[in-house]
Chain A
Amino acid sequence: MGFWLRVSKIDRRILFLLMGFAIVLPLLHPLGLPFSVEKSVQDIYDQIEALPPGARVLLSADYDAASMPEIHPFTISALRHLFRKKAHVVIMTLWYAGPPMVQDALDIAKKEFPDLKEGVDYDYLGFKEGKQIVMLGMGQSIRSLFPTDARGIALDDIPLMHDLDKLEQFDLMVNPSSGSPGTREWVQYAQSRYHMKIVAANTAVQAADMIAYYGSRQILGLAGGMPGAAQYEKLTGVAGTATAGLDVLNIGHLLIIAFVIVGNIAYFVTRKRSA
């Protein structure tokens, strides 16, 4: 059997093993390559940076553990940035497995701000099922869908929520999202109807599609996948898991490209010979 024929029939488990090494080795020996910030991520930063103290921001964390490595670092950085700007942040999730993500991001981001008061500077409303129906309902009345926050306190008893009851009252919305319901639905039902200003952080798979909304300015900033989250960490000045992970992506991408090239050479050489 010729060399290229053997290469083309290689056991896939060898490919898996190579991929495993490409993931583990850079994690143990980081490359630490510098990276720049793209415009769509800078746009998110600029939108938050332009907020006056006390601006009302809605953060809907629409993702779960499955996409944690891509989105979660952004949520932490965005919350940290919002707290630095003294924005009043209302947090929620439309994903049933989203609440622990929110709690974890809040616990990490709050550490820098010991004076932050729940219910005054920020409040977490919890999870609500209903996809776009929840968004449309919040356009009418947040209270009717979220009678209480995640602590079980009625919204009327929360200082932050006293005169806040409709989506259109928010100055900005930040949407870390990894699918449906997420950025697409927020654009379709909250941006187009209530003219919300939205910035989003999406999984890489979703971000490729959401570029259409960024191109039409329906979303004003977009962070795509782990690189987007790493760039936001760089902007906020606190390197986290996304920055560390970006190092690994270097080698991973090179390996996949090598697989494509070698696979194609093997295909064309063996095809020519069999012809």
Chain B
Amino acid sequence: MSTAEIVGTWLAAFFTLAILSFLYKDNPLYKFAEHVFVGVSAGYQLVRQTFDVAWPNLLQPLWGGLHRDVDTLKAHPQWAFYSIPLAFGLLMFARLWKPIAHLSRWPMSYIVGAFAGTSIIGAASADLVIQVQSSMVNLRGTGPWTLIDNPFSLALSTFGLVCALIYFFFSKEHKGALGVVARIGVYFMMVSFGGSFGFTVMGRLSLAVGRAQSLLVRTPLNPHAPWPALVGVVVVTALIVIWERKISPPSAGEG
């Protein structure tokens, strides 16, 4: 392991504990780590977008085409067409100069239109049609009671689905029979939200477990564990104590 990597493992432990210090209270160490995070993630995204997308999917074909590069001409015979998305993309920067700022709406409209159009087809074909189709009761299901391919389970689930959809039907007041059905629909949704809550707890805990593993368990990437974490706890605690004393010094009577 190189010196840079050893320094890196200590830095990683420090940053982890600096973020966790927020659990005590908002403090300068947390703010420092938070701002490093924003800067690094924005920078990382820009680099990735540049070298993984903008270069191979836009700039390289144009550059290679202009320089009559044989490989580029073979891969992108119509390389000149890339000047259209380039021009559109550059129009986005028009918003930096007020007289032509409105031109930045053009590329935005292109992207919004593309996503609006594709989302209509995606939602209609995958979510609406197939989900309704799958809710049709199949009496030939052979699965155990715990799974959906059991006739009773599917019938109960479909009943719950209809009730929940009726709850979302607001054109008529939820009174009488409609009110009862809508209420059953709410119960089904509450059980569903309960399931989501259970899964969410599990997910968030897993992330905390992952961080604890990386701090405390010795791996090739962290061969000195748990020492960086233990030293980090001492350093972070000391820094927070110093900061607290600075913002509210102990009075003369205190020890």
Contact = CB atoms under 8 A, between A and B. Distances in A.
Direct contact of A and B (CB under 8 A): yes
Interface of A: 13, 16, 19, 23-24, 27-28, 39, 66-70, 96-97, 99, 126-133, 136, 143, 145-148, 154, 156, 185, 187-189, 191-193, 203-205, 207-209, 212, 215-218, 224-227, 241, 244-245, 248-249, 252-253, 256
B203 A248 contact: no
Contacts of A145: 57
A189 B122 contact: yes
Nearest to B148: A215
A218 B206 contact: no
Interface in B107-129: 114-115, 118-119, 121-123, 125-127
Q: Which of B23, B199, B200 has the most CB of A within 10 A?
A: B199
Given A39-B147, A70-B206, A188-B127, A154 B75 contact: yes
A244 B130 contact: no
Main secondary structure of the interface of B (DSSP, over half): helix
A28 B203 contact: no
Q: Which of A28, A97, A188, A227 has the most CB of B within 10 A?
A: A188
Contacts of B84: none
Given A148-B56, A207-B199, 7 more contacts: A27-B213, A27-B217, A97-B41, A126-B52, A128-B53, A227-B202, A248-B209
Contact of B130 (A136, A146, A189, A218): A218
B216 interface: yes
Contacts of B210: 68-70, 241, 245
B122 A249 contact: no
30 contacts: A27-B216, A27-B217, A66-B207, A69-B207, A70-B206, A97-B41, A97-B48, A127-B52, A127-B53, A129-B49, A131-B115, A132-B115, A133-B115, A133-B118, A147-B57, A147-B61, A187-B126, A188-B122, A188-B125, A192-B125, A208-B200, A209-B196, A218-B130, A224-B199, A225-B206, A245-B213, A249-B202, A249-B205, A253-B205, A256-B205
B206 A69 contact: yes
B133 interface: yes
Contacts of B131: 212, 216
Contacts of A99: 48, 52
B209 A69 contact: yes
Size class of the contact patch on chain B: 35 or more
Nearest to B61: A147
B248 interface: no
Contacts of B127: 188
B213 A225 contact: no
Interface in B1-58: 23-24, 41, 44-45, 48-49, 52-53, 56-57
Contacts of B203: 70, 203-205, 225-226
B176 interface: no
B45 A241 contact: no
A252 B205 contact: yes
A68 B24 CA distance: 25
Contacts of A154: 71, 75
B134 interface: yes
Interface in B146-169: 147-148, 157
Interface in B164-213: 195-196, 199-203, 205-213
B199 A127 contact: no
